[in-house]
Structure 1
Amino acid sequence: MKTKLYTLMLLCMIALSSCNYLDKHPEDLKTIEMVFDDEQEVRKWLGNIYSDFPDPMNFFYGDIYLPWTQLSDEMDIPWTRYYNDINKGNWNPSSEYKADTWIRYYQNIRNGYVFLKHVHTNATMDAEEVKVMKGEVRFIIAYYHFLLFQQYGPCPIVRTIASPNSSNSELWLSRNSVDEVIDYLDKELLEVSQILPNNYTDSWMGRPTKGAALALRGRAMLYAASPLFNGNADLIKAVNPSDGKVLGSSFDKAKWQKAADASKMVIDLGLYELYRSEDNDAFLSYRDLFLKWNKEIIFGRSTSNYESFVRHASPRSQGGYNGFGITQQMVDAYGMANGKDISDPTSGYVEDGYSVVRYDFTTNDEEKSKFKSYVQKGTYNMYVGRDPRFYASVMYNGRFWPTDGEVMDFTTDGPNGNSGSHDYSPTGYTMMKFFNPDDELQGNYSVVYRPSVLFRLGEVYLNYIEALNESDPGNGDIQKYYKEIRDRVGIPAAASSLTGLSQDQVREKIRAERRVELAFEGLRYFDTRRWKIADKTTGTTIYGMNINGKTNAEFFKRSEVETRVFKNKFYLYPIPQTEIDKNPNLVQNPNW
């Protein structure tokens, strides 16, 4: 590492960018100076640093770099045996899972610093373009630090590339404290936001902007203010062996105000707005915001695994794998279209029996109607009259498939049941969120392009009002932005009133809203941990429908799917044991 650093990194990056390089003779390989003299090679290097960014559509068997949805109470995926081990509590710091991102993220951070060291103007890249590129890379480096922080807690901050002559003691970094990591992200992202542009042309969608830097800063501040990091006794007990530094911090209410202010900066840019369909339809306004670039998306991946996602998530009868079993807990989290929770006796929710009429929010447009007849006659009453986000997100037994009108049958002997194949949903539900109704897996295979959303205004609104409720309960902005989120999906204003509720009651309302608004976007796992409620939400029995039922009467019964185990140490992911073994200055997370 010390003597061959640049050569090794160059060879690795070249190998990643094009397998054709593997056929070249050593004398044909470019030096690092030659790479950064070539605009195309510079862009390849930059693209490779981006490559490990999270992809909310990348949590399926075979390449599980983002398992957070199945490790929360949102979903059960039967194929992923390694992560099922985690849900059962059978893992330790030596378990080799792809979600051990520690090494990969630090490699990308290092590659970013190589870029910053060597990128320069040339015949095709002027000073302004190089300046923006450097701003992008600084954002990327900060983002990888945040991703390490949210998964592992306080982590070593890397501020420069190591010299080839560095000693082991210089390479053996110790962990920075919570406050040090957040202070770094705070200052760095503010500076970067002054470099990055407000937006890009369509050909450069997916690159970070001013708003992306500020949105990342706001999310980092929110996490730092939350119970997992703000006054957590376990982290206060964690001390670096090399310098005696305490990794945690005492509780500081002011962190909530800083988090609120950080998210408000994004809102005040005036660059973003909640996506609404042309006819302001509640269902389409939520469904379609994930299907194309729009003014709600602050930052996202322009490339993603959306084609594989569609294949894995689709029902078997439609050419898919029935891969994502949404839990009954998640189904129950969606309220009614009237804005009331299903536990409210005045909500109109009925669990038994079947609808006797077609229930439709909607339109007389014939083309749209096949996608928007949420509930047809004979649908199990549990699914009648629910929040439009439920219909945009969940496929249930008895619902028709939008492409060809097939009625979904998840009973044991049905076309998508557990007796026909190993590809079946363990909960009796599959996923609709992120689907385009024009996706076609049969006949002329065609999956429509869509971005993969990482930051959007809806989350920023929820970040802001959560922090505001903790720092300034009763502030009028809490009501304002809570209503805006719900108004987009047609929830009546009267059902979104927070008047007369206590701070604790408003907190629960906001958390419930985050759960459905941000469902399956990779955030629930971290929300339940930063709130320190994962022992109740994750360490419990997961339920679904009775997939062994042969008839609908047998199927529509709440049934146990899996009993999960959650221990206090699971709030933070363990640092890989191999890293602990090689670095004597690195302390493991508490209780591991």
Structure 2
Amino acid sequence: MKMKKYISIILLAATTFVGCQKDFLDTEIQQNFDEELFFRSGFNNLKALGMESYNYLPQFNRFGNGMLAAASDEADFAIPSNLQRFNTGALSPFTNPDDVYANYYRGIRHVNLFLEKTEDYRNQIVQDTIGPEKAIYIDNLDDFTKLRAEARVLRAFFYFELIKRYGGVPLVTTVLNEQQSREVTRATFDEVVNYIVSECDAAYPILTNHYVNYGIPTGETVGRGDAPGSTDISRIGRIEKPVALALKLRALLYAASPLHNPSNDVTKWQKAVEAAMQLFSDPNSAHVRHIFGNFKDLFQSQNTANTLTPRKGANTGIILTRPFARSSNAFERANYPVGMTNAGGAVTAPSQNLVDAFEMRTTGLPITDPASGYNPNDPYANRDPRLAFTVAVNGSNMGVVGTTPRPIQSFVGGVDGIGAKFGATTTGYYLRKMLVENFDPSRTDGRPKAWVLMRYEEVLLNFAEAANEAYGPDVVPPASNGFSTTLTARAAVNLIRARPGVAMPAIPAGLSKEQMRERIRNERRVELAFEEHRFFDVRRWKIAEVTENQPLRGMRVLPNGLGGFTYQVFEVEPRSFDATNNKMYLYPIPFQEIAKSNGKLTQNPGW
């Protein structure tokens, strides 16, 4: 039977997968293959089809180099954008800047097709099993077995991305025809979470421990990812065992959170704790249980073989990334200060709201505490070092001209200041996190990059939140199903704060559960800024009606005529969040999906 509707997607899969895995695309497909012939066309084509599933993983700059942070209290996007619909309450079933519904269902359909059509993969990729071809077949068979398990985790990941936006969604695990797609109904949020957990559990035993020396004979060092000088990064970005455990934990944490657990069923928090303890106890996850000392290098790598990867031996704590083109510099050009040649024009400008969340380094206290030591006349002195790694302030070195570091001039009247030109900062701040440092935007060269989708610090914070809610700040959770830990909620957070280069004072003992909750939430805010957590955190905590109804604020830096500056906090813009009937806590289901569903697909409340 000829491929009709889906043949173009299959052909694209086999010829256009991008990233670090170009070696997977050794064979192009002829244009006139029918479906049966394609799925008998050999290992390279089928693997390319499976690898295409990775292209549906999220990118943080998918809004024309803007970021979802600008739809929360983290930042403002300096140019007119649909992102403002989140900030003005103008979201609708017809217009949603982050309408990923169709995209993730395309990804789910792609995985479903791949899994269904490769059930007989042992025969589909078979080669002559006499002589050297036997070894090739065995290697390919093992690789393909793992790829199918990876696809299942990717599908679970796509479902998580859907439910954290839309709540319960249709749970589709087979390829549907057009009529069947009109008959789907929504599963509940918990039903989809249970599915995600079951898929992660089922895939875990099949996934590889780590890919960095995979396929290299024992005793050999050439190409080993864990050997000094190794350059073997051919499988970087593929899913390993820790991804399944971290995704399971993330899904269970959301299920336990107030938005989805209004009765505060403590057993849901306990399930999340158990999932975290599984990752802590898992010998196959030891290579990701690290807190990388150099915070900024987690996001500003110059070499994808060293950081921005889960490479064993790098000890970065990174669990999953989405690598992208080495030659890309569009994100830097968009976000570098506008006074530089070829820079600026689509700046994500961090907010004063975010800056104020960074505590004082000496005391470990919030700046609102009279005992903190905060000086409003010198507002960036002695702050949590993560502030300087995340946000560029007036006078920060950011970028180079030739080889000379360039300080930002975001003061009033400065070439990088508010209103200096189209796309300049609107808050007085520029983004630093995730940008390659020492970059000259007048040049055309790019640097290796990846979006960090999962890392160990998030695992610790997920555990801390669940453990605090289930057991309190200073109680070691009891062992469960053979999994255990020696950590308490407070100790887990303090591990992050104590990392070299940050060395923030420990959160003290004796806090109540409520007090510790606020410290954990603030720690997530500063540690995970701009990684697409804050936007969803304030929703699952059901505090968005407070945080997102406050004005977004900035800092006006004024020369004082004496070689120094004075600082004035100002309102950048009002923000609006409609919590009536929990309306904006979930996205509206797109109108076109409702319209084509023959009345089977229900809309979210308030829309």
TM normalised by structure 1 equals 0.83
1:27 to partner: Cα distance: 8.6
Distance in 1 separating the partners of 2:63 and 2:189: 32
* Equivalent-residue separation in structure 1 for 2:31 and 2:369 (angstroms): 71
Query: Which whole-Å CA distance do the structure 1 matches of 2:546 and 2:181 have between them?
Result: 42
Aligned partner of 1:333 among 326, 351, 357? 357
Distance 1:44 1:273 in 2: 31
Q: Is the 8 A contact 2:68 2:83 kept in 1?
A: no
Go from structure 1 to structure 2 and tell me whether the alpha carbon gap of 1:274 and 1:466 turns closer, same or farther (over 3 Å shift): same
Structure 1: how far apart are the matches of 2:161 and 2:30?
39
Match of 2:542 in 1: 532
Equivalent runs, 1:354-393 vs 2, <5 Å: 381-393=378-390
Match of 2:524 in 1: 514
The equivalent residue for 1:29 is 32
Question: CA separation in 2, counterparts of 1:511 and 1:172?
Answer: 40
Letter in 2 for 1:68: L
Aligned residue identity for 1:591: G
Cα distance per residue 1:395-427 (max 9 Å; x no partner): 111223353232211234321134542120110
| Structure number having the greater helix percentage | 1
Deviates more, 1:551-560 or 1:565-574: 551-560
Q: CA deviation at 1:439?
A: 2.8
Q: Secondary structure at the match of 2:495?
A: helix
Does the aligned pair in 1 maintain the 2:89–2:578 contact within 8 Å? yes
Question: Would you say 1:172 and 2:196 are equivalent positions?
Answer: no
Matches of residues 36-115 of structure 1 in structure 2 within 5 Å? Answer: 36=39, 37-56=41-60, 58-61=61-64, 67-95=67-95, 97=97, 99-115=98-114
Distance apart, 1:547 and its partner CA: 7.3
Q: Any unmatched runs of 5+ in structure 2?
A: 17-28, 128-135, 213-232, 302-306, 477-487
- Which piece of structure 1 moves more, 203-212 or 81-90? 81-90
Which residue identity lines up with residue 385 of structure 1 in the other structure? Answer: N
Measure, in 2, the Cα distance between the counterparts of 1:419 and 1:530.
35
- Residue matched to 2:484: none
| Other structure's SS at 1:228 match | coil
Paired residue secondary structure (2:492): helix
Q: Aligned pair count?
A: 521
CA contact 2:349–2:427 (8 Å) conserved in 1: yes
Q: Hey, what's the Cα distance between the residues in 1 that align with 2:13 and 2:560?
A: 50
| Structure 2 CA distance for partners of 1:491 and 1:314, relative to 1, 3 Å | closer
Aligned partners of 1:591, 1:264: CA distance in 2, in Å?
Answer: 38
Question: C-alpha separation between the residues in 2 aligned to 1:130 and 1:432?
Answer: 39
How many angstroms apart in 2 are the aligned matches of 1:554 and 1:89? 36
Q: Distance in 2 between matches of 1:73 and 1:513?
A: 15
Give, in whole Å, the separation in 2 of the partners of 1:180 and 1:150.
Answer: 13
TM-aligned CA deviation for residue 581 of structure 1 = 0.8
| 1:268 alignment partner in structure 2 | 281
SS of 1:267's partner is helix
Identity of aligned residues (%): 32
Q: Is the 8 A contact 2:405 2:438 kept in 1?
A: no
Partner of 2:343: 320
Alignment of 1:349 with 2:349, yes or no, is: no
Do 1:60 and 1:309's aligned partners in 2 also have CA atoms closer than 8 Å? no
User: How far off is 1:316 after superposition?
Assistant: 1.7
Distance in 1, Cα, partners of 2:334 & 2:158: 28
1:570 aligned residue: 584
CA distance 1:324–1:447, change in 2 (3 Å): same
SS of equivalent to 2:573: strand
For 1:439-454, list aligned pairs within 5 A.
439-442=439-442, 444-454=443-453
| Matches of 2:512 and 2:154, distance apart in 1 | 40
Superposed displacement of residue 118, structure 1: 1.8
Match of 1:8 among 5, 8, 12: 5
Given that residues 332 and 436 in structure 2 are in contact (C-alpha distance below 8 angstroms), is that contact kept between their aligned partners in structure 1?
Answer: no
Q: 1:545 touches 1:555 (CA, 8 Å); kept in 2? A: no
Aligned to 1:182: 193
| Alignment partners' CA distance in 2, 1:549 and 1:47 | 54
Q: Aligned letter for 2:368?
A: S
> How does 1:144-223 map onto structure 2 within 5 Å?
144-162=158-176, 164=177, 168=179, 171-201=182-212, 202-223=233-254
Q: Residue 61 and residue 79 in structure 1: after superposition, are their counterparts in 2 closer, same or farther (change >3 A)?
A: farther
Question: TM-score by structure 2 length?
Answer: 0.81
Gaps of 5+ in 1: 20-25, 232-249, 278-284, 353-380
